[in-house]
Chains A and B, each alone.
Chain A
């Protein structure tokens, strides 16, 4: 490959939207966007030759040349359809084609001291506050998707929960993409100050056409603070999705992440958390792949300080020609003595053409640690199916029941009832069990 070869055609298009991106008056952001653009231009999208991307080919995103949406072009949203995803008893923020929609959002009932506002607005009102956080949990050098996002983001959300505040209800962030070939690039910053507590739900939906939805979220959790983040990815079946969540945890903080990846043609999800002294993190994930879906989950847990605990469980169900990729990396730094870490990845292959690639990794530089990881790839237990059949359950239903039970373990962990029911419904549609009493659920 020669150095002159054009790595990506996206940078050439940048000029068209540059002047319309938010935060024009913010000088640090201009510098950052320039650096990110330069970094992306020199690399292009990640290639299969890169270790972190060896199972995920994103060249289609390069070929499609999705276009960023400027304010004037935002598509109309079918509100009835949108409302089926809206959860009750939450504050909701709706981002349409990468832009905050005030009319569709509902932020009533939040305490005065809590800030929940769109990134474009926040950049005008609180540029100094944002400067402390923007790019601090993840630099655009992480990989070129992050650089891409930093250069192109059109909006996002800034959530700031002040010290000792407990968010009265969860905040739901709904990302909608309305039209073919659109590209939604959003950037979120979530700051939970010392001893505060919050729950945030990210929902991704879109039209049935091909589009790109990319969201990078930076999270800062203060001392003894608590954040639970749910991500429900229900993109359209031709969609491309990239989601990156990068977390910095201070001492004694707690972070829980529940990641449900059901949609998209190609979906990649990165989660990284840096653990402070005696902090805890729990990463849960469930991915269901069908047709030609490719779902890739990458997690990285950095134990930087002593006494931290991490727990991770990712489960995958892969049917038809779907391919599931999992990489979980736990790094224990020299100082991080007394670390306790457990990681598990379980995959269920339901068809001859499905594929699971998994890469759990431990990188340990401290000695007084307890770390373990486990991986399984397999199919449903024939004996269990036989047992159910002997109880007059037909084979297909028996298979569905067992697959459902395998997946449901992850749904059971959801503490918000409406969200739990919403995801359960998705599972039951996918694995129907006619004639089986559901009441025990």
Chain B
């Protein structure tokens, strides 16, 4: 057992290990946002005209909006004019054609992060699109994916090569007027991933995007669009990190998923943006709009998220279940420590008949953090035999933290069956005692109990991510045990 204890000691001793800064030449816009900046941004990206129009429309609408304040969050006011809306590694002008041309420093960065960018590491079997600040730097396994007809590329590239596809779907799930942060994202998003799985194709490997904020005073606004055509299947992973800085940085992403008839999309996130130090200084403000539409009958979307980073998380991955018999799932582990604040949850909108949804949310609060589950289950008039099961459990570690549960249930259909259960408790002293009595140290016991508490969600994660997620949990709980 002693080796195990030592491992955990090592783990707990670790600081935020992704907190380094990569020193490379970058092109960065001066801070500020107006129509000119958007036009310039659009021009650099070489976007079709409809995109600029779309962005300006979003920007004009954004100016009329105010930040939402209903969340259980305490947010320092954000000065949107003090943020730079574009930052890219300088060599972007002559975009790398192959990995050899990618700036070695960038590759080093991703190596440090443990991302298998080199195609040599085929064993990992994961196709990666890496987004560094505002641009996508490399996408692996392109050829292999191309053979089966899967399009997996940066969204900026998709805009050039498949403008009609992007135009058809962009903003149809999350319209540019949806909310404050979605509007801002629509106006200034710089890159992100685009995935199209053609009819009847089962994507041969996991697709993955790694997001990294590097430059100071920049915001990251990425946009992900995944379209799973009829009878297709895709599993997509997303990871995020950022350097340690004293200022707060803004991250406002939009993710849109479209599942057509019989399609299955599995979307997994391990979010590990820099959470700020133990005094609550710095950290990423993470305001993300994620929504999936199950448009076709029998389609299925499954969200799995492990949220351990960010000073503030404001994120509600949702499923709009339009197609009959469609299925929405949400599995979440949200861990907050020190002064982190998380207000996260999901929305399940049942519109089609026989639609089903499952929500499993596990919140762990430690230190002086506040962790909120906020969810909506809405069953429309025509959603006959809709079924929802929701379970929200919160675990409290330490006596200065808060755990809150705010579910909303709205049902307009009598044949619907909706269940919600929530519990909040601390780690049971009996359980701790039992483990210690069997020779485990207090830290081991806590780590084991916490992992057990999250197991229901971890088992939904792809293998590599599950390992990473467990390691992250140990790391984030640092200093909160005992």
Contacts and interface: CB of A to CB of B under 8 A. Distances in A.
A369 B406 contact: no
A363 interface: yes
Given A51-B70, A356-B409, A367-B398, A362 B418 contact: no
Given A371-B425, A374-B422, A379-B415, A359 B399 contact: no
Contact of A374 (B70, B397, B420): B420
A375 B388 CA distance: 11
Given A354-B414, A375-B409, A364 B420 contact: no
Closest 5 pairs (CB-CB, A-B): A349-B414, A375-B420, A367-B396, A362-B405, A377-B418
B168 interface: no
Contacts of A337: 399
Contacts of A369: 396, 424-426
B424 A372 contact: yes
Contacts of B455: none
A354 B413 CA distance: 7
Interface string B391-429: 000101111111111111111111111111111111000
A356 B417 CA distance: 12
Which residue of A350, A351, A354, A355 has the most chain B CB atoms within 10 A of its CB atom? A355
Nearest to B420: A375
B60 interface: no
A361 B402 CA distance: 13
Interface residues of A, number: 35
Nearest to B387: A378
A352 interface: yes
A373 B424 CA distance: 9
A353 B412 CA distance: 7
B291 to A, nearest CB: 21
Contacts of B72: 363
A372 B397 contact: no
A358 B409 CA distance: 5
A370 interface: yes
B381 interface: yes
B409 A372 contact: no
Contacts of B417: 376-379
Nearest to B418: A377
Contacts, number: 113
Contacts of A180: none
Nearest to B402: A365
Nearest to A374: B421
A384 to B, nearest CB: 14
Contacts of B420: 360, 373-376
Interface string B89-127: 000000000000000000000000000000000000000
A366 B425 CA distance: 9
A347 interface: yes
Contacts of A354: 412, 414
Given A361-B404, A377-B417, A379-B414, A352 B381 contact: yes
Contacts of A358: 408-410
A418 interface: no
Contacts of B426: 367-369
Interface in A376-392: 376-379
Nearest to B372: A363
B401 A367 contact: yes
Nearest to A359: B408
A334 interface: yes
A321 to B, nearest CB: 11
Contacts of A394: none
A375 B407 contact: yes
Contacts of B424: 362, 364, 369-372
A377 B422 CA distance: 15
B396 to A, nearest CB: 4
Nearest to A324: B411
Given A356-B409, A363-B402, 18 more contacts: A51-B70, A349-B411, A355-B410, A355-B411, A359-B407, A362-B404, A362-B424, A363-B72, A367-B397, A369-B396, A371-B423, A371-B424, A372-B421, A373-B421, A374-B421, A375-B409, A379-B414, A379-B415
A357 interface: yes
B425 to A, nearest CB: 5
24 contacts: A354-B412, A355-B410, A355-B411, A357-B409, A357-B410, A358-B408, A359-B407, A359-B408, A364-B394, A364-B402, A365-B401, A365-B402, A367-B398, A367-B401, A367-B426, A369-B425, A370-B424, A371-B425, A373-B421, A375-B419, A376-B419, A376-B420, A377-B417, A378-B417
Contacts of A374: 419-422
Contacts of B406: 359, 361
